[in-house]
Amino acid sequence: MSQLHHEQRRDTAEARPRPDARQSHTNSPVLAVLLVLPAVVLLTLFLLWPIVTAVQYSFTGASGFGDADPVGMANYERALTDGAFWGALGRNVVFALIVTAASLAIGFVLAYLLFLRVRGWRGLQVLLMVPYILPVVVTALLWKFMMEPHGGLFNSALRAIGLDALANPWLSSPSTALGSVSLVQVWQITPFAMLLIFGAMIAIPTEVIEAADLDGAGHATKMLRIVLPIVRPAMILTAIVIAIGLFRSFDLIYLLTQGGPINSTTISTLYIYVQGFVNNNYGYANAAGVLVGVFLVALAVIPRIAQRTQRRRAEHAEGTE
Partner 1 sequence: MFQRTRRPLAAAIGVATAVALLTGCSGDTPSDGQNDGPLITDPAEVTGDITFATWWAYANQDLIDGFTEMYPNVNVELQFTAVDSYPTKIQAAASSGSLPDVFAAQNVTLFGLQKAGQLYDMQEALGTAPADGSAASWGDAFVPALLAGANSGMDTSGGEVWGVPFNAISVAAIYNKDAYDKAGVTPPTTFGELLSTCTALRGAGYIPLSLTGKVWSTWWTSLAWDQTMRDDKAADFSIDNPNYIKGFELVKDMADAGCWDESQISTDIDAESSLFLQQRTATFVSVPENFLQTVADGADFTLGTYVVPALGGVTPNHTLGGGNANVIVISADSDNKSAAVAFAKYLTSEAVATRLAGEAFTIPSIQIAAVSSSPLMTAYIDATANGFTDPASNLPANTPEGLLKLQNEILPGLILGTLTPEQAAQASADIWQQ
Comparing CB distances to partner 1, the nearer of 55 and 113 is 55
Q: Of the listed pieces 92-100, 110-118, 274-282, 310-318, which binds partner 1 according to CB under 8 A?
A: 274-282
Q: How many CB atoms lie within 10 A of CB 295?
A: 15
Tell me: cis bond preceding 303? Omega within 30 of 0 counts: no
51 near 266, Cβ under 8 Å?
Answer: no
Q: Does 172 bind partner 1 (CB under 8 A)?
A: yes
Q: Does 32 bind partner 1 (CB under 8 A)?
A: yes
The CA distance from 75 to 72, in Å, is: 8
CB 47, min distance to partner 1, A:
11
Q: Of the listed pieces 179-187, 245-253, 277-285, 296-304, which binds partner 1 according to CB under 8 A?
A: 277-285
Q: Does 27 bind partner 1 (CB under 8 A)?
A: yes
The 3-state DSSP class for residue 63 equals coil
Furthest CA-CA distance within the chain: 98
Q: Does 34 bind partner 1 (CB under 8 A)?
A: no
Query: What end-to-end distance do the CA atoms of the chain give, in Å?
Result: 56
Q: Does 64 bind partner 1 (CB under 8 A)?
A: yes
Write the burial class of residue 15 (CB in 10 Å: 0-12 exposed, 13-18 middle, 19+ buried). exposed
Task: Choose among 281, 268, 290, 271: nearest CA to 64.
Answer: 281
The CA distance from 248 to 219, in Å, is: 37
CB 65, min distance to partner 1, A:
4
Q: Does 281 bind partner 1 (CB under 8 A)?
A: yes
CB 239, min distance to partner 1, A:
31
Using CB under 8 A as the binding criterion, the count of chain residues that bind partner 1 stands at 43
Residues near partner 1, by CB under 8 A = 26-27, 29, 32-33, 36, 40, 44, 48, 52-53, 55-57, 59-60, 62-68, 70, 149-150, 169, 171-174, 257-258, 260-263, 274, 277-281
